[in-house]
Amino acid sequence: MTRATVSGVSVPTQILLAGKGVDSSDEATFDVHDPATEEVIATIADATVDDGVRALDKAVEAQEQWAEFTPRQKAEVLRAIFDEVTKRTDDFARVMTTEMGKPFAEAQGEVAYGTEYFRWFSEEAVRFPGRFGGAPAGVGTIAVTRRPVGPVLAITPWNFPLAMATRKIAPALAAGCPIVVKPAHETPLTMLLLGEVIAEVFDRFNAPQGLVSIVPTTHASDMSSTLMADSRLRKVTFTGSTPVGKVLVKQSADNLLRTSMELGGNAPFVIAADADLDLVLTCAMQAKMRNGGEACIAANRFLVDSSIAEEFTRRLTEAMEGVVMGHGLEEGTTLGPVITAKQRDRIAELVKDALDRGAVATVGGEVPEGPGYFYPATVLKDVPADAKILTEEIFGPVATVSVFDDLDEGIRRANDTPFGLAAYGFSSNTDTARKLAQGLRAGMIGINRGAISDPAAPFGGIKQSGFGREGGTEGIEEYLDTVYLALQ
């Protein structure tokens, strides 16, 4: 298997097809860049559509062999993957920081979070839901059981190169499904390293290697449409933008594929007049600046009661002024680069539009000189309602502050969006907190909390933020079919 050395870590650079490194069938490659330096850090095999079909071939073969493993054996394989990735936390974190840009400490945190899905679903693998009982009419017995959906295509994003994949791979394997993973072409290295570790564990347990294949490609649309048109594929799971998700859902209709769509967000962060501002500021920085704001559940809109808006804005500005921008591997860095120049420029355009419409930048707001795709921590106050930044997902380190005069207005404005992935509400009063919890419309709601992701909880949204859930006891259901047995 050909390899590259990335920040001192040896990583595979070929397609991982059923545990083996192979070149693209047309020998094509593409470059991976460090967004902090713009330098090429590795050259990767560029999988063709035919390579994707070969991966599906292997998956179909592997499913029959995997079915011979008991639930306990499957659980032991998943737990071993958790152990091996955990042992190599720093290797994964260094690779992730170099190809994606997040600070090293945050990358270590992602490894801890991402590997937890293997541990969680190793435990769920032995607890499939089901029921058994007599029919109400007194004739026969009803048995309800679960069976694996079948081969899965997973399309993962660049912002969390490890965790967005593990929360798909782990439940698929626990349920008995093989999976073909198409990572984002901006960040394939973390996924290839994970695939190599998984292959090593499979060897140890004599598990079929075709269960997991990694197919990095710059031909994502062609590959996904071809695989989804193949009747052997039974499910597609996607994390990414709402427009792409809609295309995939339409394509899934021809073969009536099971789909899980974790799509865009526009998370409101509502602060009532009686909120504890010390807690609010801590949680605001978590909800806004985790991953440099490049997170689907990042706080996009800070909606603040007018009585405390000035103090909140001042304190948020001070906190954002303390953010240290630089390469993620440099000591002290708390904000890395944006993933690409295109994304950086998109953020800059949103900020400019807001400023042109009357918003005021209390910190940041200007693109620094290169190299690297950096955008500074920015706070915008007095953001008018017609600014595009209030309706589009920012996906960057920019906080917008708007003011409301009563909580009903704040909740109404929070819900005034076609998206519904995450929402946050803050109050020190029990009744007000309950009102926020009941009034906010999203698949995930944090009350007096800025960090809400948890492998033991269902992750997903409503409205145009998608459907389906990842994690929690609900996560494995996405990979299982319900079967009713009518027994005499």
Number of H helices, E strands in the chain: 13, 24
DSSP 209-258: GGGEEE---S-HHHHHHHHHTSTT--EEEEES-HHHHHHHHHHHTTTT-E
Confirm if 440 and 421 have CB atoms less than 8 A apart.
Answer: no
d(CA 252, CA 264) in angstroms, rounded, equals 19
H or E stretch covering 3? strand 3-6
Distances (CA, A) of 391 to 300, 341, 425: 9, 22, 19
DSSP 121-158: HHHHTT----EEEE-TTSSSEEEEEEEE---EEEE--S
Distances (CA, A) of 268 to 154, 378, 412, 483: 29, 17, 11, 40
Beta strands across the sheet bearing 480-487: 131-134, 141-148, 480-487
Annotated catalytic residue 262? yes
Q: Does residue 458 have a cis bond before it (omega within 30 degrees)?
A: no
Catalytic residue among 76, 110, 186, 262: 262
User: Strand 299-305 and strand 267-271: pairing?
Assistant: parallel
Tokens encoding 13? 């650079």
Return the closest-CA partner of residue 21 out of 196, 187, 173.
Answer: 196
Roughly how many angstroms between the first and final C-alpha of the chain, as a whole number? Answer: 56
Helices 220-228 and 49-66 sit at what angle, rounded to 10 degrees?
50
Return the closest-CA partner of residue 335 out of 21, 3, 161, 106.
Answer: 106
Residue numbers annotated as active site = 262
